[in-house]
Amino acid sequence: MSTFKAPKGTYDLIPPDSATYLAVREAIAAPLKNSGYGYIETPGFENVELFARGVGESTDIVTKEMYAFTTKGGDELALRPEGTASVLRAALEANLHKAGNLPVKLWYSGSYYRYERPQKGRYRHFSQVGAEAIGAEDPALDAELIILADQAYRSLGLSNFRILLNSLGDKECRPVYRAALQEFLRGLDLDEDTRRRIDINPLRVLDDKRDEVQKQLVGAPLLGDYLCDACKAYHTEVRDLITAAGVAFEDDPKLVRGLDYYTRTTFEFVHDGLGSQSAVGGGGRYDGLSEMIGGPSLPSVGWALGVDRTVLALQAEGIELDIPAGTSVYAVPLGEQARRVLFSKVTELRTAGIATDFAYGGRGLKGAMKAANRSGARYAVVAGERDLAEGVVQLKDMESGEQEPVALDALVEKLTSRLG
């Protein structure tokens, strides 16, 4: 055992479990790739100010959870706690919005970091797949992203998840609601830190998960009652488009999520089998974020889905993904001459696109066949000196146990035909 262990609140992905995580990432990305979203990758750390401005200085993410540090050169940086601000920064820096083809549709996958109290489903290092549609104010985009996330989860076989939906209004109607909410909140018995949030961003108080706060929020004014006509019409169209696509959702008038940049549409995917950490993903529209970080007005919408929690959701529903074995053929040489000949054939098989492994270390037949079984290989190729003298190898079907001699020169063609 090593002297060192993974840092608290983090984890290592190790085979065979890591194959499930890869399959989840691919399942979430698949509908995005099929809908015009291009892949983007950003650095694991950014300027602290990017998140302070974009995510919000009053959020727990910035005030309590962000890993911030000063470099030797004096730069103030932070490990990225979320993906949207980084993706938008990269798109602006590359002038993607000036290409004349809006919206810019991007998807990403990566690790994110927050200093949280570790528990099941909540880690200090976690993985997400996200999507952003930048530069267009269109309810069809909001609906598209919700539908694509629903498709991704359905493709994994998940069924016990719900979509919560709300509208947070815009710069026209939210100030009126903000004032009404502040007046209500100032009459409550709240701690000093929470009262400070009333002045900075009162919607953050609605997102407080503590029971003693939630009990006092009964009767709080709801944003839906303050939406302007434009926001009401926008939200109605989003709902209609989702409904027409056959995607079920629930209206949640208190849904605000944990980031300050959201406007109008906001949504969350929750799974009933995960206990307190029930949110598996979410997102919304963020029409003012570009201007917050120094860019032009670019209305946008996006989401991020947690890979870790999606895996937990699969476990909660008892779903085992059908993941193909990483190895189709396992070569077992018996003797030095067979080792050289089969190693050459392994290279040929791999070049032909057949996943092939080799019995390294000079292990005997019994040990090598056990390794072949553990690899999940469909076929084993065994060869000794007598086989090679006859110009053949022994091809064993690992499922049926049947074995047959195959001419060495015909091996690649035979396996290519059998494995399709």
- Are 329 and 378 in contact by the 8 Å Cβ rule? The answer is yes
CA distance 325 to 384: 26
Q: What's the rounded Cα separation, in Å, for the pair 80 and 46?
A: 6
399 is in an annotated binding site: no
From the number of C-beta atoms within 10 Å of its C-beta (0-12, 13-18, 19+), residue 259 rates as buried
- Contact (Cβ atoms closer than 8 angstroms) between residue 35 and residue 105: yes
Judge whether 83 is annotated as a binding position: yes
Dihedral pair phi/psi, residue 368, rounded to 5°? -65, -40
Cα(112)–Cα(153) distance, integer angstroms: 21
What is the DSSP code (8-state) at residue 101? -
DSSP 261-326: T-EEEEEEEEETTSTT--EEEEEEE-TTHHHHTT-----EEEEEEEHHHHHHHHHHTT----PPPS
Is 403 annotated to bind a ligand? Reply is: no
Q: What's the rounded Cα separation, in Å, for the pair 26 and 12? A: 19
Nearest by Cα to 368 from 405, 400, 407, 342: 342
Please give the Cα distance from 65 to 171 (Å, whole number): 28
Nearest to 50 by CA among 22, 78, 31: 78
What token pair was written down for 128? Answer: 């997400």
The response to whether 277 counts as a known ligand-binding position is no
Taking alpha carbons only, the member of 4, 69, 78 closest to residue 44 is 78
Q: Is 196 annotated as a binding residue?
A: no
Any known ligand binding at 204? no
420 has binding-site annotation: no
DSSP code of residue 61: I
Q: Which helix (H) or strand (E) holds 407?
A: strand 403-407
Residue 291 among known ligand-binding residues:
no
- Does 82 carry a binding-site annotation? yes
Which letter does DSSP use for residue 356 in this model?
E
Residues forming the annotated binding site?
82-84, 114, 128, 132, 257, 261-262
Which residues make up each annotated binding site for L-histidine?
82-84, 114, 128, 132, 257, 261-262
